[in-house]
Amino acid sequence: MSITVSKGLTISSKSFEPGREIPEKYTCDGDDLSPHLSWDGAPEGTETFALIMDDPDAPGRTFTHWVVFNIPAHRNELPEGVFAEKMMKKGCYQGLNDFRQMGYGGPCPPPGKPHRYRFHLYALDRDLDVPSGVPRSAVQGAMKGHILAEAEIVGLYGRK
């Protein structure tokens, strides 16, 4: 299943169902692997994609878990457990997450109510002229005026 936000672009996952629990292996309580994500329906003119994963339920502010950008338009998925080195060789860049690391940082909420984890995909009309390792804000700033379509899938994870 997938969720469409605009203009026909959809994002889905073989790793979890939208609105359902993200399996432990994709979290800090497991192997902390990035989940499989795939997309379809990119609009004409798409040159690259960007993906931002965050937790809007984190205490204090939205917590960024993953920033990936300059994903070439010919790619339509990120396989499970993608590593930064492999992505860089394929033309993708990763930004800094709020764990102060490049790459994926899985769900790791404090005990209590499950948190929502949003995987937000952007179809862009150009490469972003920012280097690897920049924070989310720099990537979002570079995307302004270049977003052709957006799609989002949300998973849940909680700790007792």
9 is written with which tokens? 């672009």
Q: What is the pLDDT of residues 114-134, one digit of tens each?
A: 999 999 999 999 999 999 999
Q: What is the pLDDT of residues 46-80, one digit of tens each?
A: 999 999 999 999 999 999 999 999 999 999 999 99
Q: What is the pLDDT of residues 71-119, one digit of tens each?
A: 999 999 999 998 756 666 667 899 999 999 999 999 999 999 999 999 9
pLDDT of the residue at 2: 46
Q: If you write DSSP's letter for every residue of the chain in order, what string do you get?
A: -EEE-STT-EEE-SS--TTSBPPGGGSTTTT-PPPPEEEE-PPTT--EEEEEEEETTSSSSPEEEEEEEEEETT--EE-TT--HHHHHHTT-EE-B-TTSSBS-----PPBSSPEEEEEEEEEESS-----TT-BHHHHHHHHTT-EEEEEEEEEEE-B-
pTM score, two decimals? Answer: 0.93
pLDDT of the residue at 84: 59
Question: Which residues are registered as beta bridge partners of 82?
Answer: none
Delimit the domains of the chain by residue range: 2-157
pLDDT of the residue at 46: 98
pLDDT of the residue at 6: 60
pLDDT of the residue at 89: 65
Q: Does domain 2-157 have CATH number 3.90.280.10?
A: yes
pLDDT of the residue at 1: 42
